[in-house]
């Protein structure tokens, strides 16, 4: 990131929403995408934050995403803990937040809520959907499948997606405990960011795959698959990626396995997501009780040692810092955002409000 170039989060979100609406986005779609992208950047996950906006609009142009219609909730599940959403190739950021809202609503009624999202698009990081549930005082588990881009279980070719998984729970008097990771040693978004900085991935994080016969994937983040991710922890990470595909694609009735993010003629087969929320009121009586018990668990784990850092502490610190000092934007992304504003006839003044100046 360029030193001193930082934009106020709220104004950046307004600008992203305006760009999307100028490109024909439905109001709810534009608001959700802007919120998810900026919130992801606010928590320091820059590769999956505002930097994804040009990629989303590229997908719209190429027929792999649409922004005119919000997700649709399938009928027949109104009185169940399960909700099924057909995203209709809407941006995954909108689909993820819509799923989080439904999961919370069902959890309040049934104690647990599970939203399965079919036919979506790349939803970026899990963090904004996890935190939406955590802010409601609930425990969250979120995940998505993706195109086969990881060589798992000692396979010579790609056979699983580098599937992200996110978890979160509120903790009294502290940042919520949150983790958000892909099942590979490194995500392709992080690899791309490292390459932009002139750096390379750690040894063993990626391997050169053998071509899988008959595959026609669309590599939404990697572009082309000259390298395949390897799972963290060997069989353990691969097994988690497998589980995510079950919870997102198999159980939810969406695309899974080798069909995920492939082309069927001119039709893009979008990824599947799952969003789960647990209401602690059922087992503990209140969200406050959950927060207090989480605080006790955190104290047991850290032993009062400030050097023991629980998941979510660093991203919470980043959120507070960036809310005050702005979200860093590099020159390449700034130029892309200015071009999008110019083409859509949107005022680009929000890009000139440099908090770091």
Number of CB atoms found within 10 A of residue 291's CB: 20
Q: Half-sphere exposure (CA, 13 Å, Cβ side) for 242?
A: 10
Rounded Cα–Cα distance for residues 27 and 225 (Å): 35
Residue 1: inside a domain: no
200, 182 contact by CB (below 8 A): no
Residue 103, domain extent = 6-352
* 66-99 pLDDT tens trace: 999 999 999 999 999 999 999 999 999 999 999 9
Q: What is the CATH number of the domain that holds 289?
A: 3.30.1370.60
The alpha-carbon radius of gyration of the chain (Å, integer) is 20
Residue 357: inside a domain: no
- pTM for the full predicted model: 0.93
Please report the pLDDT score of residue 196 as a whole number.
77
Residue 3 has pLDDT above 70, yes or no: no
Residue 271: inside a domain: yes
Closest CA to 59 of 218, 232, 276: 218
* 8-44 pLDDT tens trace: 999 999 999 999 999 999 999 999 999 999 999 999 9
Residue 262: inside a domain: yes
Residue 224 has pLDDT above 70, yes or no: no
* 282-307 pLDDT tens trace: 999 999 999 999 999 999 999 989 89
| Burial category of 345 from C-beta neighbours within 10 Å (exposed 0-12, middle 13-18, buried 19 and up) | exposed
Number of domain units in the chain: 1
User: What tokens were used for 43?
Assistant: 């928590």
């Amino acid at each position: 990131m360029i030193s001193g170039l930082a934009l106020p989060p709220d104004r950046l979100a307004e600008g992203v929403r305006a760009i999307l609406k100028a490109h024909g986005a439905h109001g709810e779609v534009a608001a959700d995408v802007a919120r998810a992208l900026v919130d992801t950047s606010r928590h320091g996950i820059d590769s999956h934050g505002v930097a994804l906006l040009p990629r989303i609009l590229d997908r719209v142009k190429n027929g792999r995403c649409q922004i005119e219609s919000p997700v649709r909730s399938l009928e027949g599940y109104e009185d169940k803990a399960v909700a099924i959403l057909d995203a209709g190739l809407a941006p995954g950021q909108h689909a993820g937040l819509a799923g989080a809202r439904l999961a919370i609503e069902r959890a309040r009624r049934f104690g647990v809520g599970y939203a399965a999202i079919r036919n979506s698009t790349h939803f970026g990081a899990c963090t904004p959907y996890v935190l939406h549930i955590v802010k409601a005082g609930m425990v969250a588990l979120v995940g998505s499948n993706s195109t086969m881009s990881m060589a798992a279980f000692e396979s010579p070719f790609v056979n699983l997606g580098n599937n992200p998984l996110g978890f979160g729970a509120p903790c009294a008097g502290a940042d919520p405990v949150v983790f958000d990771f892909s099942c590979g040693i490194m995500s392709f978004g992080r690899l791309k960011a490292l390459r932009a900085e002139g750096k390379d991935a750690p040894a063993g994080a990626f391997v050169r795959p053998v071509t899988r016969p008959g595959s026609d994937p669309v590599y939404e983040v990697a572009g082309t698959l000259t390298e395949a991710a390897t799972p963290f922890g060997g069989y353990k990470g691969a097994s988690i990626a497998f589980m995510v595909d079950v919870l997102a694609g198999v159980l939810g009735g969406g695309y899974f396995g080798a069909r995920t993010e492939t082309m069927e003629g001119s039709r893009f087969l979008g990824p599947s997501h799952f969003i789960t929320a647990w209401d602690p009121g059922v087992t503990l009586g209140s969200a406050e009780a959950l927060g207090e018990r989480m605080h006790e668990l955190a104290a047991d784990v850290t032993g009062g040692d400030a050097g023991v850092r629980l998941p979510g502490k660093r991203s919470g610190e980043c959120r507070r810092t960036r809310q005050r000092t702005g979200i860093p934007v590099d020159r390449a992304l700034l130029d892309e955002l200015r071009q999008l504003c110019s083409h859509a006839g949107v005022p680009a003044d929000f890009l000139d409000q440099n908090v770091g100046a």
